[in-house]
Amino acid sequence: MIELFTSAFVTFFVVIDPPGCAPIFASLTAGADAKHRRAMALRSVAIASGILLFFALFGEDLLDALGVSLAAFRIAGGIMLFLIALEMVFERRQQRREKRADEVAATPEHEDISVFPMAIPMIAGPGSIASIMLLMARSNGLDQSLVVLGALAAILVLTLLALLAAGPLMRFLGHRVEAMITRILGVILAALAAQFVIDGISVSFQINA
């Protein structure tokens, strides 16, 4: 159980990237008062939690309705996470997030950024949705499923704390430390993504054998 929790925790931490969300949130809420900023942080995490919980509980049924096997989803999800890992290693992911944040900031009518872009796609994006579905698919029984959901809950709490403490957190970390952590986490995510692909291929061969 500890190994499953650790694996799920690391996967969610790398994909959701709470420290990486903090500077984006700080820049988008620079002109807001503390109460409004706190409300947007809470709303962002709450909406993202609902989306991820939906895919955690009903993602497998959705795949069945679409006629997609879990093995195929593991391979596709692993490839997707591997591409995200490459972006993290070469710092393209943060640049893409900052560009999206600039586009939102340039549009005056987007005063509340809790739904877009914070909840979707920065917290509950394709990577995190694929991750929760993959990890829930690998879980055997209620106990393991609860462990995975517990790891997700822990990361969402960390994300909320990171958003609430965005300003001080960025001053503490600094750009260079954040870039170094992002690259290290990218390498870890690449290895986890490769494991998802290997699991999917292995299951496919067992089914076809």
CA quadruple 101, 107, 113, 116: dihedral, nearest 10:
-70
| Confidence band, pLDDT 50/70/90 cuts, at residue 41 | very high
The predicted-structure confidence for 127-165, as pLDDT tens digits, reads as follows 899 899 989 988 889 999 999 999 999 999 999 999 998
Q: Please state, for a pLDDT cut of 70, what percent of the chain lies above it.
A: 83
Locus of tokens 């799920």: 8
Q: Is the confidence at residue 109, as pLDDT, over 70?
A: no
From 101, 91, 100, select the one nearest 179 (Cα to Cα): 91
| pLDDT for residue 60 | 84
Q: State the first-to-last Cα distance of the chain, in angstroms, to the nearest integer.
A: 30
The predicted-structure confidence for 166-206, as pLDDT tens digits, reads as follows 867 666 766 677 677 778 878 887 887 888 889 888 888 77
Mean pLDDT of the chain: 83
| Confidence band, pLDDT 50/70/90 cuts, at residue 95 | low
Determine whether 153 is exposed, middle or buried from the number of CB atoms within 10 Å of its CB (0-12, 13-18, 19+): middle
Cα angle 137, 91, 191; round to 5: 35
Strands in the chain per DSSP E: none
Interval 96-125 mean pLDDT: 71
pTM metric for this prediction: 0.76
